[in-house]
Copies of this chain bind each other. A is one copy, B any other.
């Protein structure tokens, strides 16, 4: 097949539809215009077609989002340097990072046992590191459950800031003001500890340390 006639040139180089192309278009829209803009019509328009065409490759919107989540997890580096614990820490942090970068994707991970190819690779790596740490099978299995839950939750919380106006600091400052106006007799501890509640610091790193320490110290059953 040689150079196309002019009629095809109007829309040049229209890539053929495919599941991959749809997933990538979805991610592009999600990153550019947010979760509300991620509609089947909008994805179809990005690919220069109609919404009905998508359903050949994608069962429905949920299926599309699950595929997008797994695509996002493909970017998680599975290997790192350091002790097993440092590597595990880095792996979980990278997973949170990858999910929280795309608004709303973490919520998908929260509601289902992971089955995506890349999600499973992450989990497999987590299991390997936990076993390397000397944990027994059951504790390692439950730990990976807990770490997955925590990753999804942390990412969901983080990506929620993308939804609301963007600025995380603004949202936190609003909450601080709200807490400052609470009646001290009804909420004595919140009132007393308000400076600590809104103190800056790396809570994500601390949270992960808490989890890892707790896991090491708490054998299942």
Partner pick for A110 among B138, B156, B197, B220, CB 8 A cutoff: B156
Convert A153-172 into 0s and 1s, putting 1 for each residue whose CB lies closer than 8 angstroms to a CB of B.
11011001001000000011
A94 interface contact, C-beta 8 A: no
Evaluate contact between A142 and B190: CB separation under 8 angstroms.
Answer: no
Residues in B neighbouring A157, C-beta threshold 8 A = 110-111, 149
Residues of B within 8 A of A209 (CB): 214, 218
A107 interface residue per 8 A CB criterion: yes
A152 to B, closest residue via Cβ: B153
Q: Is A189 an interface residue (CB 8 A)?
A: yes
In the complex, are the beta carbons of B150 and A189 less than 8 A apart?
no
- Among A13-21, A65-73, A122-130, the one that faces the other chain is A122-130
A2 adjacent to chain B (CB < 8 Å): no
The answer, yes or no, to whether A29 is at the interface (CB within 8 Å) is: no
CB-CB contacts of A204-216 with B at 8 A, as 1s and 0s?
A: 0011011111110
Which of chain B's residues has its CB closest to A172's CB?
A: B113
Size class of A's contact patch? 35 or more
Q: Does B213 contact A127, Cβ atoms closer than 8 Å? A: no
With both chains docked as a complex, state the minimum distance between the C-beta of A24 and any C-beta of chain B, in angstroms.
23
Please indicate the chain B residues that have their CB under 8 angstroms from the CB of A172 in the complex.
Answer: 113
Closest 9 CB pairs of A and B: A214-B214, A153-B153, A210-B214, A127-B189, A111-B160, A141-B196, A137-B196, A113-B175, A213-B214
User: 6 A–B contact pairs at CB < 8 A?
Assistant: A120-B187, A125-B189, A137-B193, A138-B201, A142-B201, A149-B153
